[in-house]
Structure 1
Amino acid sequence: AANGATPLHVACQQGHVECARLLLEAGAAIDQADEQGATPLFAACQDGHLEVAKLLSSYGASRAATPFGTPEEVATEEGHADLAVWLVASRGWTPLAHLETLTAARATSLLRSGASLHEGEPTPLRRAAGGEGEAAALVRRAAAPWSPASHSLFPAAARARAALLVLSIYEIHERYHLDSAGATNGIAALDFGHCVLGFAITRETQ
């Protein structure tokens, strides 16, 4: 655009939330300002586009001051009360805490990349407690002890550790599955392994 606005900036200014989502998914620079210094989030807040602001915030958009003030200030000044209230309420949220905005795919991606369940105010886990929707359900599942059902929601390092430990357990099982007594020992080892894996694998595994 003539004023240096990016496609994301234009989409946000005009309130086109799905266009903005596609641009963000494609890696658009979320905080790139136009020539006057207005960011996409500022533009969305200036014109009262609540859902666009929520989307940008869920991707970690900066709320720092522009030459025209902060997004929160401009929403208040322009009389967008619902947006201003939401901006205040969500000040301490991490991207994963935006449960009403996140798609299941985006929530899964954040969880698999290691997003914390316990950072922010309130934390994603606290927001997910009793919450509706797929994103909230995924956060609750990711908070449970490791199991085959939650494996896909753990970060890469934890998934690798789980795969190694599961393989080791099955190798022990096969090694001792020789006769009736060995079979009993092997099954016991397998059952024991499945019980302890939930405690041995954590999301914070390095």
Structure 2
Amino acid sequence: MLLDASAAVDQAWNNGSTPLSMACAEGHLEVAKLLSSYGASRAATPFGTPEEVANRAGHADLAAWLVASRGWTPLAHLETLTAARATSLLRSGASLREGEPTPLQRAAGGAGEAAALVRRAAAPWSPASHSLFPAAARARAALLVLSLYEIHERYHLDSAGATNGIAALDFGHCVLGFAIARESQ
């Protein structure tokens, strides 16, 4: 709840330990995953890096996970993300193609709602993927759909009477997927 309410994920105690370093010292893998999914820093504290802390405390599984997830962005933490949080990250513009591996690479073979949302968000814009696009892309889609509708109404076009035999709305259906970009190029 605190992280969802924008609590400072890296707020250190007086001795310099962070929530992530404390989770690593205690071997709390799920807590470390959650903190990492909110962008917790993996920089060294006075006690060392989170990996060093986990290794020193004998939590090899946690240290191995920290190594494996070094290049992940918050969206790449698919096993930790709820559908609501994945949707929020996608709508706020989280990249599908940044990080190592990228969220899209991780979602390709992944199970679960978050992975399915990432795969759906990677598809060209459509009414089914609209809600997963960032605000600017959704606004552009709405403007283009409205423009196409106004052209359709102004010229009384239908599939039989449209220029070159292509109705404005059919044209829009074909083109919008190319006209609306999820990520700025």
Q: CA deviation at 1:183?
A: 5.7
Q: Does 1:27 align with 2:6?
A: yes
Task: Give the RMSD, CA atoms, in angstroms.
Answer: 1.6
Q: CA deviation at 1:204?
A: 2.2
Q: Does 1:125 align with 2:111?
A: no
SS in structure 1 opposite 2:54? helix
Cα distance in 2 for partners of 1:38, 1:182 equals 66
Give the structure-1-normalised TM-score.
0.85
Name the one with the larger helix percent.
Answer: 1
Long gaps (5+) in structure 1: 1-21
SS in structure 2 opposite 1:23? coil
Q: Which runs of 4+ in 1 moved over 4 A?
A: none
Aligned to 1:5: none
Cα distance in 2 for partners of 1:146, 1:182 equals 23
Residue from 169, 172, 175 that aligns with 1:196? 175
Deviation readout 1:26-59 (Å, 9 max, x if unpaired): 1111101000000000000000000000000000
Partner AA of 1:110 in structure 2: L
Contact 2:159 2:167 in 1 (8 A): no
Paired residue total: 183
Cα distance in 1 for partners of 2:153, 2:90 equals 33
Give the structure-2-normalised TM-score.
0.95
Q: Does 1:171 align with 2:150?
A: yes
Aligned to 1:12: none
Residue from 61, 65, 81 that aligns with 2:40? 61
Cα distance in 2 for partners of 1:85, 1:204 equals 32
Contact 1:64 1:70 in 2 (8 A): yes
